């Protein structure tokens, strides 16, 4: 299994541009999550999904959108990029949020907005 994969690994955006960060998991997990990690900080939840067609906001959703059309994919869309969105973005998945089910993380996308 490849686990959780993310593309691209790095990206530089100009202010006002838009882009989609891709996330795919091959573990047939129902739950998927998007986090951002700012330098020297812990991770903050942006959006999460409990299954195809169902998404919900996390702690810092402003400036982002998500969709979940399949179990495997959970893309994160940035509209009108701002310097405050410069961060490392991690996608994660888990079988369930209940029980002893840990979250598996992708390698991250490092985004710079200038």
Partner 1 sequence: KQEVTQIPAALSVPEGENLVLNCSFTDSAIYNLQWFRQDPGKGLTSLLLIQSSQREQTSGRLNASLDKSSGRSTLYIAASQPGDSATYLCAVLETSGSRLTFGEGTQLTVNP
Where on the chain is the footprint of partner 1 (CB under 8 A)?
A: 4, 33, 40-45, 48, 56, 58-59, 90, 92, 97-98, 100-108
Among the listed residues 91, 97, 102, the one whose alpha carbon sits nearest the alpha carbon of residue 50? 97
Judged by beta carbon, residue 40 or residue 114, the one nearer partner 1 is 40
Copy the structure tokens of residue 30.
């129902």
Question: Residues 82, 18: contact at Cβ < 8 Å?
Answer: no
Judged by beta carbon, residue 14 or residue 40, the one nearer partner 1 is 40
Smallest distance, Å, CB 7 to partner 1?
A: 13
Smallest distance, Å, CB 30 to partner 1?
A: 12
Copy the structure tokens of residue 85.
């969105």
Smallest distance, Å, CB 113 to partner 1?
A: 19
Question: Residues 94, 45: contact at Cβ < 8 Å?
Answer: no
């Amino acid at each position: 299994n490849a686990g959780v994969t993310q593309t691209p690994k790095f990206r530089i955006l100009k202010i006002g541009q838009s882009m989609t960060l891709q996330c795919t998991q091959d573990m047939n997990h129902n739950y998927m999550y998007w986090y951002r990690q700012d330098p020297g900080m812990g991770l903050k939840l942006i959006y999460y999904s409990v299954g195809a067609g169902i998404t919900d906001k996390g702690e810092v959703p402003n400036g982002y959108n998500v969709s979940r059309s399949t179990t495997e994919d959970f893309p994160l869309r940035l509209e009108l990029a701002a310097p405050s969105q410069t961060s490392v973005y991690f996608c994660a998945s888990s079988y369930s949020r209940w029980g002893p089910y840990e979250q598996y993380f992708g390698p991250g996308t490092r985004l710079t907005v200038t």
